[in-house]
Structures are given as C-alpha cells and as structure tokens.
Structure 1
C-alpha cells in the first residue's frame, strides 16, 4: 500500500468469491485449491482504487488460504490488503463472529472501531448476517445470480446494496466523508 496517501477513517472488510472473483470462472486442482479465476468486471479496479485512496483493507473470506493467495496474486490485488482472514486457519466460517474478530484483531482495532468498519460481500446469510451481528455496516453486492438477493429475515438485511463493484467505491467515499464530518463536529462540540 502507498504510505503517502492520507489514511481514511473507514476500514473495509471484503469477501472474495462473487465479490472480487467470479466464482463461475474458478478452476480447482485435484486438492480443491482454486488455481485460476477471473475478477468480476471492475472488482480489481475497486480494490486498487480503495487501497490507493488510503483505505485499510482486510479480506474476510470462507475458504482455503492458498486459493485466495493464488486468485488475488494472479489478478494483481494481493498487495492491496493489510491482512487476510480465511476460514481455514480460523476453523470457522461467516457468519461466525470469530472471522470478524480475527480481522479486527489482525488490524490492531478494538470494539470501539466497529462503527467505522464496512463489510462488502455477496452472501446475505454469511457476509451480511455476520457483519450485522457484530454491529458492522453491511453492504450486499448483488452482482451474482448464484445466491439469494432477498434476506431470509431481518438479520440478513444489508445496510446498503450495490450492484457493481465501482458503486461500492462511490458509497465508501460518501460514508467516509460523513464519518469524518461527524467526528469533526463531535470534536468541536467537545472542546
């Protein structure tokens, strides 16, 4: 990541399958490791743009570590992430709070920071439900036809929905500006 950019207030957790990588293009080896896959149109630009603009990024994804290393490296976005949390070593999958807590810990954050974390994912029952349960702002990327687009219940209702990865960049910029303004307002009334 480019250290000369001003760090943004929002912290971004991103899923991988059907959020960055098109699961329909994945090729697996005999051990089930993904060895090939293509990005969703615009997803590589999304990740690089967010990193270049100073956002701290964590991958929070269900699956095997080597699959993500392969996919993110071949698509040129591996180095954009500050940390990568995979279900394989955590021994849990989203919506388990262990996945989100591992990312919070790996980024040296605390419970006080939860209000400035945004989770982008394609799966309402995993990404959105897990983020909501932790008090993390949830954003559903409804790009894929592979997963339900209608929440099964209130626990799966996203805070925001985007249909395109580049729409997420615009949303994040608005949310970060609002958070920065809110914090500036709080600081001026406290002094």
Structure 2
C-alpha cells in the first residue's frame, strides 16, 4: 500500500477557500471576527442554504460556526492548530435568518495542545449553542519567529503620494455626470472604498451598475495619470527596503483596487518586498472594520498581536486597534491630534526604523 500523503498545515498558504472564513469559497460561511485581547467575537446570519429541516439551520452548520470561532481563538493566540476533538451542544433549534453572535476564548494551554470554548447567542443574548474543543498545536508562530516581524502597510498617503492624482480622476469622472466634487469632500473620504465615495457624492439611490461604471472610469484615469509621474512619500521606500532586508514579512492592506496596488508597487520598484496584497476585492467591509488587516495577517502567517500597521488615516488606525494590532500613523493626510489612537505618531517615515517597530512588538526595550 502506498503511503498516504499528509496535508500541509501552513497559514502562509492563505485561507481564501476555507469553508468557515474564505472569501473565495462560493459555498463558504465567509465569517469574520474581532479580537479584544482575550475573546474572539463575530456575527453570522444563516440563510436557506444552511437549513436541514425546512426553516431550521442544520446542526452541522452550527458546529462549523463554533469550530471556526475556536479556530480563530488559536490564531489570535499565535498558534496554527488542527481540531482534535469538538463537543457541541445545541440548546434549541436555530431559525434560518436568525442573527447569531458568536464568541470564543481559551480555557487551557500547553505546549502541544489548547482547549477553548465558544458560544452562539441570539439577538436577546440567550445562548442557543455552545462547544468545547481540544486543538493540537501544529506551529507556534511566536516561537518559530514568524510572529515577531510583520508590518502591514496602507499604500495611498503612506507609501506613495497619490492624493492629487486620485482627486483629479474623481473630479473628471464626476464632472462628466454634472457633479461637483470639492477638495474638502475628497479629503474627508480619501482612503475609503469607491462604492462609499460614489454613494456619498451622488446621494441615495445610485444603482450598483452606475457605481461600477464610475469606479472603473475613475481608476482608468488614475492609472494613466501616475505612469511617469508617481513619487514616493519621504522615507517610505527606504523603510520598506530596510525592513525587507531584515526579514520582516510585509503586506499591503488597502481599499484600492488590486490593479492600482500592483502598478504603484511596480512603478516604485518594491513589489518583491511584499508577500501579500489585500485589496478592496478581497474583503467586503472597508476600514475601520479590521478585516483587511486580519486577512493580511492570515496570509502572512502571523498572529495579529505581532503585527504593526502603518497608516495615515483615522479609520485605518481604528481598524488596526480593533484587530488587536499595533500601529504607526504618519501625518501625511490628517493632523496629529486626529491620529492619537496610534501607538506611534510621526510626521515622516524618515524618522522610523526597524528598531522602532521592534520596540512596538516588545522585542526591544522601550
């Protein structure tokens, strides 16, 4: 008998097809979670495709929701694990369309395994199901070194000086439709997703088709305009290359389309410094929701508490904190006082080096 090939357990391969959280799995649950340093929490609304008996959610789906929640407990603890034992208790039938809040936390940890608990509650806070699990530790991301050195970058306003090109492109796309777009409104929305910007500029009732049309047109104008003209912001390229040479794993987490990100990194000659790119296409929610940073951490194979986010936007700093990450804010777009939630606020990345990031991660004395 031929030996059975063992699967590879490695978060650096990404989670895009995970049944629980993968964004590209067409039949997946697409769950997202937040972390407060102790408890993982999330929300799930089952649909008719999740039913067993008519109108009642299948018990296997309830088990999967709780198992995924517990899996994220281990990830936030800096561990790659596999479930060895899962005991689920369903206290009452869950209806299709019923909003569930899930939460999970660690109950015991040793070198080779962890134990955790998760609960699902209804809108009134009553527990409808709970689970306990034993998970076997495959890899300790902290002890292996992967968890120590991770930097997640925003791009526009942090790495590249793109604001004027974005504004000109938006003005042209909106002017074609008779809409004035003053610079003040642009600055308040800079860094947000295109669908949000367009909806706010045009008012309620704008169709998804028109949003897509304006967005595509604006981005085409923008990409044409930066070729041969794009400049990096002070200190950004030097810091990227310095961190790369010192073994930091790095990702871009941006609300920009992936085509924009790839073009900017190519024009600046730093594409090979990044192991992951997370764009607006990869996550349904924009900043300050932390999902874009959490997906980046997953793809890097790094626990969130061992990531530093570099941002210029208030929403970005808030999202980093919500994701359990440290942050550096640079005052390229907003004044210092609006970025006070960041762990470190600087006027230029020229003043930041690898030692500053290691101090934020607790790897150097303060």
TM-score interval (norm. to shorter) = 0.7 to 0.9
Residue 141 of structure 1, aligned match among 301, 326, 330: 330
Aligned residue for 1:9? 148
Aligned residue for 1:106? 299
Aligned residue for 2:338? 151
CA shift, 1:50, in A, is 0.7
Rg (Cα) greater in structure: 2
Map Cα deviations across residues 85-116 of structure 1 (whole Å, 9 max, x no partner): 1123323211112212211221123xxx2221
Q: Structure 1 residues 73, 98: CA separation in 2 closer, same or farther (over 3 Å shift)? A: same
Alpha-carbon RMSD: 2.6
Partner secondary structure for residue 17 of structure 1: coil
Contact 1:15 1:120 survives alignment (8 Å): yes
Question: Matched residues in 1 for 2:258 and 2:296: separation?
Answer: 14
CA shift, 1:38, in A, is 1.5
CA shift, 1:7, in A, is 7.0
Q: Structure 1 residues 25, 8: CA separation in 2 closer, same or farther (over 3 Å shift)? A: farther
Aligned residue for 1:171? 356
CA shift, 1:147, in A, is 2.9
Contact 2:291 2:323 survives alignment (8 Å): no
CA shift, 1:162, in A, is 1.6
Aligned residue for 1:122? 312
Structure that is richer in helix per residue: 1
Contact 2:156 2:162 survives alignment (8 Å): yes
Structure that is richer in strand per residue: 2
Larger mean Cα displacement after TM superposition, 37-46 or 56-65: 37-46
Question: Matched residues in 1 for 2:239 and 2:319: separation?
Answer: 23
Can you give the 5+ residue segments of structure 1 that lack an aligned partner in the other structure?
1-5, 182-191
CA shift, 1:129, in A, is 0.1
Question: Matched residues in 2 for 1:172 and 1:134: separation?
Answer: 17
Q: TM-score, length-normalised on structure 2?
A: 0.42
Question: Matched residues in 2 for 1:47 and 1:69: separation?
Answer: 15
Aligned length: 167
Question: Matched residues in 1 for 2:155 and 2:292: separation?
Answer: 14
Q: Structure 1 residues 180, 42: CA separation in 2 closer, same or farther (over 3 Å shift)? A: closer
| Greater relative contact order (Cα < 8 A, sep 6+) | 1
**Is the counterpart of residue 24 in structure 1 residue 213 in structure 2?**
no
